[in-house]
Structure 1
Amino acid sequence: MNKTINEDVSIVLSGEAGQGIQTIEGLLTFILKREGYYVFATKEYMSRIRGGSNSTEIRVSSKPVKSYVDKIDILIPLTKSSVEHLGDRVTEDTLIIADNDSLNLKNKNLFNVPILSIAKEIGNEIYANIVAVGVILGLFKINKQTIEEYLKERFGDKGEKIVSDNIKAASEGYKLGKDFSESGEIKIKISANENLKDDLLISGTDAVSLGALAGNCDSIFSYPMTPGSGVLVDLANFSENFDILVEQAEDEIAAINMAIGGWYAGARSMVTTSDGGFALMEEGLSLAGMIESPLVIHLAQRPAPATGLPTRTAQEGLNLVIHAGHGEFPRLVLAPGSLEQAFYLTQKAFNIADKYQIPVFILTDQFFVDSYYNVKKLDLSKIENKKYFVETTEDYKRYDLSKAKNGVPPRGIPNYGNGLVVVDSDEHDEEGHITEELDIRIKMVEKRLKKFEALKEDFISPEFYGNDNYKYLVVCWGSNYNVVKEALENIDNKDLAMLHFSQVYPIPENAVEFLEKAEKIIDVENNATGQFAKLIRAETGIKIDSKILKFNGMPFSVEELTAKIREELQ
């Protein structure tokens, strides 16, 4: 049996929760990136601590790769049920590297590798995942010094024996993988590039967290909820070197109220959660709308309603965040499609929230936050932060109508100046005191709503990709940016283009000219009702008849989206 894989290889590792699949993902992606490869990794996992079947997909390529694919070139299963779990993705072309003495699989493309036996000889079955890492790295003939250096970094705090055993496990697997390569049984022909060694390898979670740090976020309040909790963990780690207050609140209601209190005091506070957690925060959001408090909320979506599929992906939270909170007040909703966008938009979110005194959402999803790929070093020269609160005088009025021509009154904070800063959840007068005078109520509502017009100064235009003379326009938002782009590259039709929205509410006005020009608009979303298509209709009057929707908890793969778009073109 001889198999050569050129340019782009998809490697999937699968096993039970607790078998170290995420450890394998981390080791392989970082080592391969260090050796100059383009890598992409994403995971799917069940909502259990032990058992079940989880998998990680790692794409390695000679060119940038940023999307999920169905194809599996090489599969390393750690349990027999792993193969069944992956279903139709395992084809007659899939090479399976497994310890078949323990799994007893029947497949013509099976390479029997004594992964468990090697691990036991080293001292513990737990090293099976590191043996598997070694096999893959051996296929690529990775520099052994690079492997050893990274294992020392990764396990150095666990003691010399642990480091030594991990290096031995990787080395034993490496020999087997290298033998497969040199014999021609499994040959991978993918070019490494020296220039990629300095790339960053980050996840969606990292991109949002680094963007918050760049936006001078100095406090985060959260009640943990998958898949939004990673941002809380990241900022907790950053707090070791930066002045960041990290508070795991007793519940979601406390978390959002703490964040509002932080902004009131002059901090730049953030909340991170998921759909179900945010549902408990809605009264707090409405409070922010009434007292005109800045607020930044990261919401990582997952399938709903209720607990839904807590570890899967969806784009079902759009209607929630647009309509959340009782009453009418402005908000901005951002939905990054790339890791670079996540960094820059999160940083910008803090300035926009501060400038206009409104809630700003960063809307991601499980697929986005849990995916990794190479990015060039982020350009910090683009970063500019400004605090918009004012030093108060004795005659200061928090909601001074004469100084809020664009709907934005001067925001003071306690103890910065001689004024008294009064806010209240009831309707209030210019000084912030409760009022039931109906004329003042009208003026305050009109003032708050004026911010929608003022916000246009900072709107983020949708990104266009394709030939200017298009007939067919694929519309997408958030995490579908890269998969739609790769599907369009596969189709290679000059009549086809993409319009990606990273600002999903309000709809930027310049989007209308792109939409009106198309003979046919194709909407791509991970929900069952086409929430964004309906929003476009409501905001612009343009009806989108053609929708490609997926809502089983998995992201679109490149292959299926390519096929579905082709169907729409016929």
Structure 2
Amino acid sequence: MVEFKEDVSIVLGGAAGQGIQTVEAILTYALKRSGYHVYANKEYMSRVRGGINTTEIRVSSRRVRAFVRRIDILVPFKQGVLSWVRNRLSESTVVLGEKGNVEEDFLGKVNLVEVPLTKLALETGSQLYLNTTAAGLIVGLFHGDFEAVEEYVRKRFESKGENVVRKNIEAARKGYDLGVKLCDEGTIRVEVERDERVKDEILLTGTEAVGIGALAGGMNFLSFYPMSPSTGVSTFAAQHAEEFGIVVEQVEDEISAINMALGAWFGGARAMVSTSGGGFALMSEAMSLAGMAENPVVVHLAQRPGPATGLPTRTMQGDLNLVLHAGHGDFPRIILAPGTLEEAFYLSAEAFNLADRYQVPLIILTDQYFVDTYYNLSKPDVGKVRFERYIVEAKPGYRRYELTEDGISPRAVPGYGEEVVVANGNEHDEWGDITEDAELTVKMQEKRAKLKLGTIRKNAPLPKLIGSEDAKYIVVNWGSTFHVVEEAIRELGRDDVAQLHFSWLYPLNPEARRFFEGKTVIVVENNITGQFADLLEKELGVEVHHRILKYDGRPFSVEEVLEKLRGVVE
């Protein structure tokens, strides 16, 4: 008998088009509704059919929010899956599936528990029901609430008619009964304690967290050109456009997308663009226009490995330098990178206030791993979201680019007030008229690149410290590596190691230097050079002693970070 307790890592593997995501959706919904903490993430090849795609689902008695290398239960839907995840298998891994889906090299070497999924699906009426049968099987192993499975199946398939719904429920029941039987017979034992509070929580993806946050922040216009892995935010907004009374435009290219957003902000809207690195590269000139015209804009950039097309369905934190330096000339910008789904909601909402207040481009950096991750969490508190507008009336004597001590000029929109409202991509005077005056050019350059940047920097929030201020080692992370670093440090179990999480990447508040004084600094990043480590050294003068980097297009696992940290501190 194989026994799993408290935290179980399940991996589903098959070809694109085999419905792996359907199984994932049923499992996470039903197990969460049954009172289990769940986490899920997927990795998939850049193809519509074929190849090998896998989904990891962790089911636990405590909150789990990070990717692990360990596979406890593997469910292969085709041959080739075991070879693909070979380095993640161990002696305790149970392969739950049909013998025909296991490569010959592995027969007799893995703990195979044969289950007749195809036979059960055919008994229901068609092999099409195999995925629903498999989902029921795994829920049965946990003795989950079958009513939750039935509820999800009804929602998922109701548009296909009652017969399809009934057949899928029948298939799920056959799988569920088999899962319970495997436990009762002692073939597999799963002991994970339920938490009744989980039932009232919600399941969100990173995509949904960004999208909902943007809506909460007052976004009423979104323009985009599709590019993975960012497109989900745009389609989410489009699906809810009528409900929230917003405009979503799919345009001909990324240049059009950002220029439409700039125009929307100029007219008084709150606009966002969603793209990936290659798309953002095309937006560089418009970023510079936003800098000169002091026109707000919010850009969501979901990173993937580059250069060029790179690995379009994989993950990396390789575009920090891109957004940091995009656009010719010197002008300020704000860069945010949420590390949790809660942060994604609140930061995406606050992004619109910040862009409006400081009249700058603001970039929200996520990545494929982050947008495709989901887990259970408490409902975000919409009451905490502030909706701030910084638009003034263009009264007589209004000067759009008035020279001020903090570098922030009053911003009006056309039609609100008597004066004409001007936006100018040329160097200009305080009224917005073109100028080539040398003295005025100096003042305007300093207004944007020194005074305004200094104001933003002074008001920038400090990073979040998890652990003791007296810790000898500081492990720095930014964006999507938060949870994996958090869990690795918890597993390390040392009081002299603390985590410092940055979700506000630029500009950095000088007061953040105090976190590094007298510490051994370790930076964890999903890129090849350590882009944020370089930024810390440049902006704050911080000496980074160790860089833990990964750049194969895959996310860090808890085990990887733990091993690397042990190599430094032990």
Where on the TM-score scale, by shorter chain, does this alignment land: which range?
A: over 0.9
In 2, are the aligned partners of 1:225 and 1:273 still within 8 Å (CA)? yes
| Inter-CA distance 104–333: structure 2 relative to 1 (3 Å threshold) | closer
Give the CA deviation at 1:468: 2.4
In 1, are the aligned partners of 2:33 and 2:145 still within 8 Å (CA)? no
Question: 2:77 corresponds to which residue?
Answer: 78
CA distance in 1, matches of 2:145, 2:521: 49
Structure 1: 4+ residue segments shifted above 4 A: 101-105
Question: 1:59 corresponds to which residue?
Answer: 58
CA distance in 1, matches of 2:296, 2:485: 34
CA distance in 1, matches of 2:211, 2:280: 18
| Inter-CA distance 69–102: structure 2 relative to 1 (3 Å threshold) | closer
- Are residue 19 (structure 1) and residue 18 (structure 2) matched? yes
Question: 2:396 corresponds to which residue?
Answer: 394
Q: Secondary structure at the match of 1:24?
A: helix
Give the CA deviation at 1:146: 2.0
Residues 194-236 of structure 1: per-residue CA shift (max 9 Å, x gap) = 1111111101111111110110000100101111111001111
Letter in 2 for 1:59: R
* TM score, norm. by length of structure 2: 0.97
Residues 135-194 of structure 1: per-residue CA shift (max 9 Å, x gap) = 101101122222212211121122111111111111111111111011111111001111
* TM score, norm. by length of structure 1: 0.97
**Which structure 2 residues correspond to residues 539-558 of structure 1 after superposition, within 5 A?**
539-558=539-558
CA distance in 2, matches of 1:254, 1:124: 47
Question: 2:291 corresponds to which residue?
Answer: 289
Match of 2:342 among 334, 340, 343: 340
Question: 2:426 corresponds to which residue?
Answer: 426
CA distance in 2, matches of 1:432, 1:27: 57
Question: 1:47 corresponds to which residue?
Answer: 46
**Which structure 2 residues correspond to residues 55-454 of structure 1 after superposition, within 5 A?**
55-101=54-100, 103=102, 106-107=107-108, 108-401=110-403, 404-449=404-449, 450-454=451-455
Letter in 1 for 2:496: D
Question: 1:479 corresponds to which residue?
Answer: 480
Q: Secondary structure at the match of 1:267?
A: coil
CA distance in 2, matches of 1:124, 1:359: 53
CA distance in 2, matches of 1:529, 1:54: 28
CA distance in 2, matches of 1:147, 1:52: 28
Letter in 2 for 1:156: E
CA distance in 1, matches of 2:8, 2:242: 38
Residues 112-141 of structure 1: per-residue CA shift (max 9 Å, x gap) = 112122223333322211111011011011
Q: Secondary structure at the match of 1:96?
A: strand
Question: 2:536 corresponds to which residue?
Answer: 536
CA distance in 2, matches of 1:49, 1:79: 16
Letter in 2 for 1:390: V
Give the CA deviation at 1:382: 1.0
Q: Secondary structure at the match of 2:364?
A: strand
Residues 302-355 of structure 1: per-residue CA shift (max 9 Å, x gap) = 111000001111010000000110000000101111111111111111000000
Moved more, 270-279 or 106-115: 106-115
CA distance in 1, matches of 2:148, 2:504: 41
Q: Secondary structure at the match of 2:510?
A: coil
CA distance in 1, matches of 2:401, 2:329: 18
In 1, are the aligned partners of 2:297 and 2:355 still within 8 Å (CA)? yes
Residues 369-400 of structure 1: per-residue CA shift (max 9 Å, x gap) = 10001111111221111111111123322112
CA distance in 2, matches of 1:555, 1:511: 27
CA distance in 2, matches of 1:392, 1:182: 75
Letter in 2 for 1:281: M
Give the CA deviation at 1:101: 4.3
CA distance in 2, matches of 1:195, 1:400: 54
Q: CA RMSD in A?
A: 1.2
CA distance in 2, matches of 1:360, 1:37: 37
CA distance in 1, matches of 2:454, 2:350: 18
In 2, are the aligned partners of 1:71 and 1:89 still within 8 Å (CA)? yes
In 1, are the aligned partners of 2:305 and 2:553 still within 8 Å (CA)? yes
Residues 527-558 of structure 1: per-residue CA shift (max 9 Å, x gap) = 11111111111111222131110000111101
Letter in 1 for 2:511: N
Q: Secondary structure at the match of 2:269?
A: coil
Q: Secondary structure at the match of 1:493?
A: coil
Question: 1:461 corresponds to which residue?
Answer: 462
Letter in 2 for 1:162: V
Q: Secondary structure at the match of 1:299?
A: strand
Give the CA deviation at 1:283: 0.5
CA distance in 1, matches of 2:289, 2:345: 28
Identity %: 50
CA distance in 1, matches of 2:90, 2:196: 34
Moved more, 166-175 or 9-18: 166-175
CA distance in 2, matches of 1:457, 1:469: 25
In 2, are the aligned partners of 1:352 and 1:458 still within 8 Å (CA)? no
CA distance in 2, matches of 1:510, 1:492: 29
Give the CA deviation at 1:244: 1.0
CA distance in 1, matches of 2:196, 2:27: 18
Give the CA deviation at 1:26: 1.1
Question: 1:567 corresponds to which residue?
Answer: 567
Letter in 2 for 1:478: G
Q: Secondary structure at the match of 1:276?
A: helix
Residues 454-505 of structure 1: per-residue CA shift (max 9 Å, x gap) = 2145412101011222111111111111111100110111111111111111
Letter in 2 for 1:368: F
In 1, are the aligned partners of 2:456 and 2:507 still within 8 Å (CA)? no
Question: 2:501 corresponds to which residue?
Answer: 500
| Inter-CA distance 357–102: structure 2 relative to 1 (3 Å threshold) | closer
Residues 249-281 of structure 1: per-residue CA shift (max 9 Å, x gap) = 100000000000000000000011111110000
Q: Secondary structure at the match of 1:308?
A: coil
| Inter-CA distance 270–127: structure 2 relative to 1 (3 Å threshold) | same
